[in-house]
Amino acid sequence: MRNITEEELKEILEQHKLWLDSNKKKGKRANLSGVNLTDANLYCVNLRRADLSGADLSGADLRRADLTDANLTGADLRRANLTGAYLFYANLTGADLTRANLTGADLTRANLSDADLTHTILSGAYLTDVYLIYANLTCVDLTDTILDEKE
């Protein structure tokens, strides 16, 4: 697990914003693969298309974060707050979302294959066309969730 400073994270996020805003002509895509972001404050951050595979985001504040098309394969999201987060097309294959809060999150077309969602709150979340193959849904709160599982 790789550690980075707050200053390094800020620079990575700035370069990522520039990369997105310039249609990949300037800046650099955020590569936070394998980075320790435990308890990080990522409220409302734009991480569209970012690589967060294998990152430790346990306890992180990702409320209203834009993680559209992000790679979160094998990420540790235990107890993370993803309330209202945008996870369209996000790849969460094998991610650990145990006790995460995804209230009102939009996971449309996200891949949650082999993900652990034990005790996860998905109340009011959008799970339209989501892949849930072999996902662990033990004790998941699906109150008012819009769910349309792919085969």
* 3-class state of residue 41 by DSSP: strand
Residue 148 pLDDT: 65
Share of the chain above pLDDT 90, in %: 93
pLDDT, the chain, mean: 95
Helix (H) or strand (E) holding 108: none
Interatomic CA distance for residues 77 and 26, integer angstroms: 30
At residue 54 the predicted structure's pLDDT band, cuts being 50, 70 and 90, is very high
Give the count of alpha carbons within 13 A of 132, CB side only.
16
Residue 32 pLDDT greater than 90, yes or no: yes
pLDDT in tens, 106-116: 999 999 999 99
Interatomic CA distance for residues 131 and 111, integer angstroms: 5
Contact between 35 and 58 (Cβ < 8 Å):
no
Interatomic CA distance for residues 44 and 115, integer angstroms: 24
